[in-house]
Amino acid sequence: MTTLLEPAFAKVNLTLDVLGRRPDGYHDLRSVFQTVSVRDDLALDIGTGKPWRLQCSKEGIPCDERNLAWKAAKLFCELAKVEPEGLEIRITKRIPSEAGLGGGSADAAAVLRALNRHYGSPFSVGALAEIGAQVGSDVPFCVLGGTAMVEGRGERLRPLPPIPECFFVICKPDFSSSTPELYRQLDAQPIACRPDHRAMEAAILAGDLAAITRSVRNVFDDVVSAAHPEVGGIKSVFRTYGGMCAELTGSGSAIFTIVPSFEYAAVICDMLRGQYSNLFIGKSV
Ligand code: C5P
């Protein structure tokens, strides 16, 4: 039996624009994704000689073929025509679910990367990302990681240069939002303030952190903030203690800020700890 270890990093959306509804009912997006060092850890036992099994350190996560990590493993084995003769996936979960941090997708991407490496890289990174697209919309980006412009449903990726070193503080309030419902709300009303992708790309290319943070914008932020006033409270703590931006990631409910040093991040966490337990500090990866 061989054990493979693989980290699975969370993502935040530095920008997120919803462009329109497609004939298949999904929406086309344009978004700058950024990997952050908040992580799950995966261990894969190959050749257990037993039926497939998935274990997760956190309760409430499906531990069968509904889990994206399981789906990714199954699809990889089919397409690579390999038979692991028993597979156990163990997930040490830290990335909160229903947060917009892509935790399930990160786990699936980690499985794809680990299996691809184990079986002698039958797929290029691009091919692996295409396989990931069949598992979930955020999986292709999670296969690639770093900083990237993401379009379509998530399958079109254009890598961007890494952003300057900085720290992310992420706060996940207890509420969660229904993603389909949020898309319905966006369809029903004109979007008042969209991200300026030209400005964001120029800021990233220039390595200008202040300009990057000025261009942070997510169109889901207004609808989620309007429904949940506590988002405003978290943002105001971010801003008061040196946060350079304050925005929702994905369809929420996690909110993030960017700060120039760990000291700022630690102070912000101190200020929120009394009210919120799901607090994370990460760096860009
Ligand atoms: O990707 P996820 O499973 O989180 O999507 C949940 C729902 O959000 C989809 O069933 C769809 O209604 C909506 N969605 C969308 N366009 C996307 C992604 C999700 O309309 N690009």
Take residue 39 and report the two structure tokens written for it: 């992580």
pTM of the model: 0.96
Please give the pLDDT value at position 156.
97
277 alpha carbon to ligand 1 midpoint, in Å?
28
Please give the pLDDT value at position 117.
98
Whole-angstrom distance, CA of residue 105 vs CA of residue 243: 27
pLDDT classification of 28: cutoffs 50, 70, 90: very high
26 alpha carbon to ligand 1 midpoint, in Å?
6
Which among 107, 138, 172, 235 is annotated as catalytic? Answer: 138
Selection from 164, 167, 147 nearest residue 206 by Cα = 164
Helix (H) or strand (E) holding 19: strand 15-21
Number of the ligand 1 atom closest to the C-alpha atom of 154: 21
Number of the ligand 1 atom closest to the C-alpha atom of 179: 8
Which among 11, 71, 172, 235 is annotated as catalytic? Answer: 11
Number of the ligand 1 atom closest to the C-alpha atom of 21: 20
**Residue 36 confidence (pLDDT) above 90:** yes
DSSP state of 3: E
151 alpha carbon to ligand 1 midpoint, in Å?
14
Residue bearing the CA closest to ligand 1, atom 1: 137
Average pLDDT, integer, range 2-29: 96
98 alpha carbon to ligand 1 midpoint, in Å?
13
Residues 6+ apart with CB under 8 A from 227: 177
51-66 pLDDT, tens per residue?
A: 999 999 999 999 999 9
Residue bearing the CA closest to ligand 1, atom 7: 180
93 is catalytic: no
Residue among 19, 26, 134, 177 to mutate when testing ligand 1 (max atoms within 8 A of CB): 26
Residue bearing the CA closest to ligand 1, atom 14: 26
**Residue 31 confidence (pLDDT) above 90:** yes
73-106 pLDDT, tens per residue?
A: 999 999 999 999 999 999 999 999 999 999 999 9
231 alpha carbon to ligand 1 midpoint, in Å?
22
Residue bearing the CA closest to ligand 1, atom 8: 180
Number of the ligand 1 atom closest to the C-alpha atom of 25: 20
Selection from 206, 210, 212, 209 nearest residue 165 by Cα = 209
- Give residues (CB < 6 A) around ligand 1: 26-27, 29, 137, 153, 179-180, 183
Residues in the chain: 285
Number of the ligand 1 atom closest to the C-alpha atom of 28: 21
136 alpha carbon to ligand 1 midpoint, in Å?
10
pLDDT classification of 177: cutoffs 50, 70, 90: confident
104-127 pLDDT, tens per residue?
A: 999 999 999 999 999 999 999 999
Note the helical H segments in 81-217.
103-118, 125-133, 139-144, 179-188, 197-206, 209-214
196 is catalytic: no
Mean pLDDT for the chain overall? 97
